[in-house]
Chains A and B, each alone.
Chain A
Amino acid sequence: MNRQRPGPPEPVASSPAARAEFGRRLARRNRQESRFRLAGLCAVLAGLAFLAFFFLTLIGNAYTAFAQTHILLDVELSAAAIDPEGTRNRQTLGRADYQGLIRNALRQQFPAVTRRGDLRQLFALVSPGAGFDLRKQVLANPGLIGQKQRFWLAADDDVDMLIKGHMNRSAPESQRRINDRQLAWIEQLEAAGRIERQFNHRFFISGDSRDPEMSGIRSAVAGSFYMLLVTLALSFPLGVATAIYLEEFAPKNRWTDLVEVNINNLAAVPSIVFGLLGLALFINLFGLPRSVPLVGGLVLTLMTLPVVIIAARAALTSVPPSIREAALGVGASKMQAIFHHVMPLALPGMLTGTIIGMARALGESAPLLMIGMVAFIVDVPESPLDPSAALPVQIYLWADSPERAFVERTSAAILVLLAFLLVMNAGAILLRKRYEKHG
């Protein structure tokens, strides 16, 4: 593109006044030119600045979620409390009151605390879910029973926020969720080296929970995975078949025109409308259960289908006609020419489009809200027919939760989602690059 400003042309006007006037106009036009250019640059920079701001805030919010405050306690795993009959029966072991054992350990740690109200505040320092972790450890190793063991137990989310510096210790007591007495205990624990931030593995291996410190994205990731599986299994074959028909077989008539216009329009229909369709069709009419990845996958299939079709058609048109003609020339039928010769060449392009469609489906949440995938699901689904959450919906739910500790978890879940999207898109780009080199 020509990037040179027009230079001063030969003066046309002869009089000095006219020449000065011309010079002024030219200067003004050149100023306008640079202003316009600056505006364009600003627009680009504004977009990029937002992107940078967005990622910086996100990462700034998120990184603390990958650590979790733990408290070191000496828990007396007394046989009388866990297994009074000494049978080591797993059911008996599973039913024991582990949270009570943790409370006893806290009492031993702070023998001075005796009043009931104070004790309740003391017990609130450890997560209400810590007992489950303790139970898991005891079940895995029943030999621990009867011993006094040191355990790192998850701290409550308020303690976690305090340790991570999201709560101001010097603020007046009424503005903190941790009161002065609790703060003193925490400082004692800190001084004894009994408080530590450790890697938050729970975030990756557990399902949703009302307690931020116990919540994780496993169930949401599994739900999204099953949903994408359904979407992929349906939208790829359907999309490719449609593309092949429209590109290679369809007669040029009004019906074909209608199908084409319709596909382009479907690609621009708001996603929430697909959710309405899913609700009315799959749930009300077909009676499929709510909150299951199968229904979510079906809805997302209908939504991604236009994307896949459009990409697959583009891939088919980019195959040179000589390939088709050569195959037909040596006696292949039209089907054979397409499936044996054109398809292999178009496949990378089709796959690229499908991956991009899948990435869009992965990030979509509005239609899932419509089909009831916003339920509070703790269990990790084991098949596409189990109720489950989905990663973007989990983000939506956490973003709505009032606890401060969910802010960092939401951001961390977003980072995980973006990481998945990045991997998918990078895969698509790599595929395209390789394909272009060969093609």
Chain B
Amino acid sequence: MPPYTALIILLALTVLGYWLGRRRPAAFGRKYHSLPGYYGSYVAIWCVFPALALYCLWQLVEPGFIRSQVLATLPAELLELPEAELGLIYNDIRNLVEGNIVSGAPGEEIIAAASRYTALQRMSNLGIALAVLVAGLASSGWALRRVKPTLRARNKVERTLRMLLMAASTVAIFTTIGIFLSVLFEAIQFFQLVSPLEFLFGLSWSPQTAIRPDQVGSSGAFGAVPLFTGTLLISGLALLVAVPVGLLSAIYLSEYANARIRAIAKPMLEVLAGIPTVVYGYFAALTVGPLLRQFGEAFGLGVSSESALGAGLVMGIMIIPFVSSLSDDVINAVPQDLRDGSLALGATQSETIRQVLIPAALPGIVGGILLAASRAIGETMIVVMAAGLAANLTANPLEAVTTVTVQMVTLLIGDQEFDSAKTLAAFALGLLLFVTTLALNVVALRVVRRYREQYE
């Protein structure tokens, strides 16, 4: 019996409950409080929730229960093994049951345990299906008995619905809390291995932990400064491209261009925002990188094929539409009176823009640039594909640098254990990235909002 049988039973019961509940008030033959559908929903709700709670509870308890029961069948000398080895044996048992590859030939006691596991699993599935059936029947039966013409079914159903809506709105909060906690816990573990001071101010980054003390190149160093400078260098280059181009094109499109050009050029620029970042990364690595190197050779400059410049340029292009649409919003929010007043005093249009519009829109523009910066800092695929892996502490855009996000990806790709400083370092970097971008976002959103309120 597959584990989801219980859910199928529950679904069938719910439909039945709805149908019975819906028919019930008509049997009374007199006026009743709510529409019949609400009585149906009332019974269905009572049918679903208790049984579903039971099911979820069982799903939580089941693995531990089966584990303890299966391990109890093992001979005593196996049980005295340390917890980690016991876990391996248990994994073997489960692999045997699921028909996966088992490490080594399974011993007799393992096979016995596996058959015990299968039996328990079958029993557990049957048990939960029965439990759900009984619970669903009992609670919907109780609800059915309560269906009377005076039952305010609509109010009750609506209250439940409202609770569900409210619960949905907390998902976003839980996501934030989840991100923060999951990153924080691993980061704390990391900081027990490596001091936060070394992490934040150390100048050398070579994330590895020695397996033997005499190993060659075993010196792990977790000084993240080269990553910060690399991130800042690439993001700075990106902003250097995106801010002038984005701002000027927003000004041109909103103040100078006629409606036809605007109708064509604006969506075309927005297309840039819709291109997936992995595509930009491919482009940066395979087209822009080699192109820059050829340029460099022509001028006698040694440009690394994974230069910060290439990644920064392409990232800049990616955030152009971001800067331009935000600037467009804030420039359009400046009241027409200010423009008219300036023009009436004899200022040219560019003087009006530079001396009236931009100062008036400045907080909004700055907010937009901060948001763009936060996006550039957190951007991953372009730098993973086009920037280097070596942590160079340099400000030369022609050299290869690495960034926080690149290191997070390289540290976490592939198989890894969760207790080495190497993988935990990725979470420490993640914490830093999350806090930085969060701070930038909060400040930027506040600035933008205050600015909008100023003119509304």
Contact = CB atoms under 8 A, between A and B. Distances in A.
A419 interface: no
A41 B250 CA distance: 10
B350 A36 contact: yes
A359 B276 CA distance: 9
B282 A410 contact: yes
B268 A245 contact: no
Given A32-B350, A410-B282, A363 B277 contact: yes
Contact of B265 (A32, A44, A246, A284): A44
A33 interface: yes
B274 A39 contact: no
B122 interface: no
A124 interface: no
Contacts of A280: 182-183, 185-186, 427
B317 interface: yes
Given A245-B168, A280-B183, A392 B276 contact: yes
Contacts of B176: 262, 265-266
Interface in A267-290: 268-274, 276-277, 279-281, 284-285
B276 A421 contact: yes
Contacts of B248: 39-40, 42-44
Interface stretch (A46-54, A90-98, A137-145, A314-322): A46-54
A242 interface: yes
A126 interface: no
A266 B349 contact: no
A48 B438 CA distance: 32
Contact of A370 (B162, B277, B353, B412): B412
A364 B183 CA distance: 21
Contacts of A237: 168
Nearest to A411: B282
Interface string A92-109: 000000000000000000
Given A276-B427, A363-B278, A414-B279, A33 B349 contact: yes
A272 B437 CA distance: 12
A333 B287 CA distance: 60
Contacts of B350: 32-33, 35-37
B437 A36 contact: no
Interface stretch (B134-142, B202-210, B300-308, B379-387): B379-387
B348 A32 contact: yes
Contacts of B271: 51
Contact of B380 (A271, A279, A411): A271
A238 B171 contact: yes
A6 B348 contact: yes
Given A36-B354, A40-B251, A305-B175, A271 B378 contact: yes
A431 interface: no
B166 A270 contact: no
Contact of B433 (A241, A245, A266, A273): A273
B427 to A, nearest CB: 6
Given A262-B173, A333-B158, A269 B282 contact: no
A359 B343 CA distance: 43
Given A6-B347, A33-B349, A272-B433, A366 B405 contact: yes
A91 to B, nearest CB: 20
Nearest to B163: A245
A244 B282 CA distance: 40
B274 to A, nearest CB: 6
A270 B175 contact: no
B175 A277 contact: yes
Interface in A145-177: none
Contact of A305 (B171, B182, B354): B171
A86 to B, nearest CB: 34
Contacts of B158: 333-335
Interface string A105-134: 000000000000000000000000000000
A120 B399 CA distance: 43
B182 A47 contact: no
B269 A48 contact: yes
A266 B277 contact: no
B409 A366 contact: yes
Contact of B252 (A44, A57, A418): A44
Interface in B398-450: 405, 408-409, 412-414, 418, 426-427, 430, 433-434, 437-438, 441-442, 445
A18 interface: no
Nearest to A48: B268
A249 B172 CA distance: 17
Contact of B375 (A57, A268, A274, A333): A268
Given A262-B172, A264-B445, A399-B286, A245 B381 contact: no
Given A43-B249, A333-B154, A396 B169 contact: no
B263 interface: no
Given A270-B377, A272-B433, A366-B405, A44 B351 contact: no
A40 B252 contact: yes
A133 to B, nearest CB: 29
A272 B353 contact: no
B185 to A, nearest CB: 8
B279 A33 contact: no
A395 B280 CA distance: 11
Contacts of B56: none
Contact of B169 (A47, A50, A241, A265): A241
Contacts of A270: 374-375, 377-380, 405, 433-434, 437
B230 to A, nearest CB: 16
Interface in B349-379: 349-351, 353-354, 371, 374-375, 377-379
B161 interface: yes
26 contacts: A1-B339, A36-B354, A40-B256, A47-B249, A51-B268, A241-B168, A241-B169, A245-B162, A245-B169, A250-B169, A265-B176, A265-B442, A268-B374, A269-B434, A270-B379, A270-B434, A271-B378, A273-B179, A276-B182, A276-B430, A280-B427, A305-B171, A366-B384, A369-B409, A369-B412, A370-B408
What 9 A-B pairs come out closest when comparing CB atoms?
A: A270-B378, A40-B252, A363-B276, A280-B182, A241-B168, A43-B248, A36-B350, A366-B380, A245-B165
Interface of A: 1-3, 5-6, 9, 29-30, 32-33, 35-37, 39-44, 46-48, 50-51, 54, 57-58, 237-238, 241-242, 244-246, 249-250, 258-259, 261-266, 268-274, 276-277, 279-281, 284-285, 302, 305-306, 309, 333-335, 359, 362-366, 369-370, 372, 374, 392-393, 395-396, 399-400, 407, 410-411, 414, 417-418, 421, 425
Given A1-B255, A46-B245, 5 more contacts: A32-B348, A40-B248, A57-B287, A271-B378, A414-B279
Interface of B: 154, 158, 161-162, 164-166, 168-173, 175-176, 178-179, 182-183, 185-186, 244-249, 251-253, 255-257, 265, 268-269, 271-272, 274-279, 281-283, 285-287, 317, 320-321, 324, 339, 343, 346-351, 353-354, 371, 374-375, 377-381, 384-385, 405, 408-409, 412-414, 418, 426-427, 430, 433-434, 437-438, 441-442, 445
